[in-house]
Amino acid sequence: MNDYMRDRSVLMVGSVPCATAEDTFRLLAPALGDRLAGLSHGEPGYRNMWVVFNAPHVYEPNPGIIITNKPKPNRDKTVFKKDIPDWLPTSWEEMWRCKVKDSVDKIQFDTIHYADFAIECYATFRNLRDAGIIPRHTRYQVNFPFPEDFTRWCTGDKRDFRIMTQAIVDVLKREVAILLRAIPATDLSIQWDVCWEVFACDTGDYLGREPLAWKAEGDPYERYAAYLAELSPGIPSEVTLGMHLCYGDLEHSHLIEPKDLGVAVRMANLAVKHAGRRFDYVHMPVPRNRSDDAYFEPLRDLAVGSTKLYIGLVHLTDGVPGTLKRLESFRRHYQGGFGIATECGWGRRQVDTIPKLMEVHKQVADSFR
């Protein structure tokens, strides 16, 4: 853990339901201030839908990819109880599906636009920090989904998945390099957002139904470790590096329900072992109904040295009392350095709930600072 992380008691997991990056910065910075491990642009607009926007923006234009399924026009979009874009699926039947052309054995994505957007928003971040709205030493947090989060949900067999995922690994390395050329390392926090790899590791890579209707090549833990070894070593030590482990948050429900923290602990240990550089923090999710000791017992096997653990046990629905109950259970099983967070990003919440959610973070963080 670098010195910057020691007193940072709150992790902003990533997304916030604001219209612009400036709205996000102005909402969070005065309220959570120097508690934050980093301040993200909040993934505004269509980025609020996490990875799915890559289908129309990156995959459909690629000459090596055929789109075999996508949302249909004039469909019922009221399932989310809000207006949604035409390209966003509302069910697995509407999900984008990509096939690599039979004549193609390698594809390339020139860009996935994560670095370009982050650099654009960094100018606003810097201006607000210079003006004193963002606390002086706050780092700018940039989140990148991990490779399988880009591809597993929209591919239908081993070959397509392998080819597309390798192309994503290649472009992620270029995106990080672009980011590092534009933003000072001492200003930057990079977070790997890991979701589909968690699903694969938790289930043995196969459920026989969506979201894992087929089995990929190799062991899922070994694939995950290989991504870490390829993507992380090139990030300078001056950059804060962290990871968010996720079980999904579609309409505030998990795609797979975690039995306990066992999978997250094993993945955290692998992150520290294979990153090729210091790992500053790891985030793990805690469902609202899990304050029992059994959920936290796997923490006895956590072996991450000085890496800080952000435990995702903050829930708005039961507020401070419920969060403190989960925190009490957690602290019976973990005595290392820690901070708090929600299970996942806030992007699918109503914006008017965010001030109360920030207040829960503040009150709970003040109980252990």
Stated pTM of the model: 0.94
Query: Quick one: average pLDDT of 53-77?
Result: 89
- How confident is the model at residue 50, as a pLDDT? 78
Backbone angles phi, psi at 58, to 5 degrees: -120, -45
For residue 104, pLDDT beyond 80: yes
Task: For residues 216 and 223, give the distance between their C-alpha atoms in angstroms, rounded to a whole number.
Answer: 10
> What would the DSSP string read from start to end of 173-239?
HHHHHHHHHHS-GGGEEEEEEESHHHHHHHHTT--SBTTB-SPPSS-HHHHHHHHHHHHSTTS-TTS
Task: For residues 186 and 206, give the distance between their C-alpha atoms in angstroms, rounded to a whole number.
Answer: 41
Band (249; pLDDT cuts 50, 70, 90): low
- How confident is the model at residue 80, as a pLDDT? 56
Band (369; pLDDT cuts 50, 70, 90): confident
Give, as one character, the DSSP assignment of residue 155: B
Band (203; pLDDT cuts 50, 70, 90): very high
For residue 181, pLDDT beyond 90: yes
For residue 59, pLDDT beyond 80: yes
For the chain, give every domain's residue range. 3-68+97-366
Instruction: Answer with the residue of higher pLDDT: 218 or 1.
Output: 218
- Give CA 74 to chain center in angstroms: 32
- How confident is the model at residue 1, as a pLDDT? 60
Least confident of 44-53, 158-167, 240-249, 358-367: 44-53
What is the enclosing helix (H) or strand (E) of 225?
helix 220-231
Query: Quick one: average pLDDT of 58-81?
Result: 83
pLDDT digits (tens, 9 = 90+) for 105-159: 999 999 999 999 999 999 999 999 999 999 999 999 999 999 999 999 999 999 9
For residue 21, pLDDT beyond 90: yes
pLDDT digits (tens, 9 = 90+) for 210-237: 878 999 999 999 999 999 999 999 999 9
For tokens 């004193």, the residue is: 132
Query: Quick one: average pLDDT of 24-46?
Result: 92
In terms of DSSP H, where are the helices of 77-157?
Answer: 114-130, 147-151
Least confident of 211-215, 307-311, 360-364: 211-215
For β-strands 240-245 and 39-40, DSSP reports them as unpaired
- How confident is the model at residue 78, as a pLDDT? 64
For residue 268, pLDDT beyond 80: yes
Question: Would you identify the CATH topology of the domain 3-68+97-366?
Answer: TIM Barrel (3.20.20)
- How confident is the model at residue 332, as a pLDDT? 97
Judge residue 251's burial from the number of C-beta atoms within 10 Å of its C-beta, 0-12 exposed, 13-18 middle, 19 or more buried: exposed
- Give CA 175 to chain center in angstroms: 16
